[in-house]
Structure 1
Amino acid sequence: MALGKAIGKVPVMSLNAPGFIGNRMLGGYTRQAGEIILHGALPEQVDKVIVDFGFNMGPFAMNDLVGLDLGWRARKMAGTTDKPLTTIVPDKLCDLGRFGQKTNVGFYTYAQGSRQGQPDPAVAKLIEETSAELGFSRREINEDEILKRCLYPLVNIGAQLLDEGVALRASDIDVVYIYGYGFPKYRGGPMYYADAVGLDNVYRDILAFHQEYGDAWRPAPLLKRLAEAGSSFAAWDAAKSAK
């Protein structure tokens, strides 16, 4: 912690665990974005909702920036056959040489030297064809559903991390996401935001998504306990600090 401060960073203590805090939560966020486009939305719709919420970029623009080929090459090297459904579209894009900004084409197309992506009808067609191959009936998905399905995995996985002791406090998770992952500062971080919405409301929506979409949405035990008690992550932090 002292070293982090000495080099001008904002350190957060975490248990040594796969993905630590930030990347473990990020996995749930990006997987849901991947499912949303299979169910009916397009990348630019999802990204717009996330940017309108306050992020600098949405998940698909982020993937183009990082490079779609990183995960694609890793899956090829591992010889993975039982791949998550959400990897099918990015893998198809990579098979076409669409690696993201580095090739000027990914989920979006980029003018030479530009980082501003433009929607590509060819990508929309590829996504729609993939949905049909997988047997999904595409439907219109409104902005409220897109936002909840992207943000609530952060909250749910964050609650799991607290239960597991990977993160010490909900406020630590908020610091990680504000300083490390671009969560809008004025929203306070994912756990603070969930408190503001009301954990009973968040829990109710997660239960509905669990019923609709399966185990990826299984509510974290801590979230369930706090919601049913009418409590909050802030109260949980305070009680833990008082011990």
Structure 2
Amino acid sequence: VHVEFGMPMGPFQMSDLAGVDIGWHRDPTRIESIRDALAAVGRWGQKTGKGFYDYDEKRNPSPSAEVAEIIEDFRARSNKAKREISDQEIIERTLYPMVNEGALILSEGKAQRASDIDVVWIYGYGWPVYRGGPMFWAGLEGTDKIVAALEKHGFAVAPLLKEKAEAKMGF
């Protein structure tokens, strides 16, 4: 979904590139997340040839049966029903929170303008230039649509983002 959106890679590939074990507590008996479970079995990312994905000698990713089992184990223990997740829900749960965080950054005075945040995301994190950065994109997507989706998924919505949504404005 993220690659189709225009990102250079998705978040799991990014994690594999950086290293799944970065920030890991190094206790293989303390498994609190899928990331912990991967790190505990040596799936540290591209440097070991396996992380969220398996990698060939040219570092091309492919889905991993071992990771699918780990994910299924976490799902089963959570007592949550297995379900399909749409591309739209992935966008709502991963990109809309970026807009929300940008609104918090503006409110806290850590950035002067929304366009400052957009520049950082475009040149620092690979946000697709043609989408104009997350804050600009929020105006195209609809701040009211973003707020509704964040609330639906249980995110605390930044007051500034709510204000923009109520006024039907972008940043």
Q: 1:6: which partner in 2?
A: none
Structure 2: which amino acid aligns with 1:69?
Answer: D
CA distance in 2 between counterparts of 1:231 and 1:64 reads 37
Q: 1:181: which partner in 2?
A: 125
Q: Deviations over 1:99-133 (max 9, x none)?
A: 00000011111112x12111011111110111111
Q: 1:121: which partner in 2?
A: 65
Q: Does 1:219 align with 2:146?
A: no
Helix, strand or coil at the partner of 2:127 = coil
Between structures 1 and 2, the one with greater helix share: 1
Q: 2:168: which partner in 1?
A: 230
Q: Does 1:202 align with 2:140?
A: no
Which protein has greater RCO, CA pairs closer than 8 Å, 6+ apart? 1
- Runs of 4+ in structure 1 displaced over 4 angstroms? none
Structure 2: which amino acid aligns with 1:151?
Answer: L
CA contact (8 A) 2:140 2:170 kept: no
CA distance in 2 between counterparts of 1:52 and 1:229 reads 30
CA distance in 2 between counterparts of 1:136 and 1:167 reads 39
Q: Aligned-pair distance for 1:140?
A: 0.5
Q: CA RMSD in A?
A: 1.5
Q: Deviations over 1:156-209 (max 9, x none)?
A: 011011111111111000000000001000010001111001111111211212
CA contact (8 A) 2:26 2:40 kept: no
Helix, strand or coil at the partner of 2:76 = helix
Normalised by the length of structure 1, the TM-score is: 0.67
Structure 2: which amino acid aligns with 1:65?
Answer: L
CA contact (8 A) 2:34 2:70 kept: yes
Structure 1 residues without counterparts, runs of 5 or longer: 1-48, 211-216, 234-243
Q: 1:66: which partner in 2?
A: 18
Structure 1: which amino acid aligns with 2:170?
Answer: S
How do 1:25-174 and structure 2 match up within 5 A?
A: 49-72=1-24, 75-76=25-26, 88-112=33-57, 114-174=58-118
- How many equivalent pairs are there? 169
Q: Aligned-pair distance for 1:135?
A: 2.4
Structure 2 residues without counterparts, runs of 5 or longer: none
Structure 2: which amino acid aligns with 1:230?
Answer: K
CA distance in 2 between counterparts of 1:200 and 1:76 reads 42
CA distance in 1 between counterparts of 2:53 and 2:4 reads 18
Helix, strand or coil at the partner of 1:136 = coil
Normalised by the length of structure 2, the TM-score is: 0.93
CA distance in 1 between counterparts of 2:22 and 2:144 reads 38
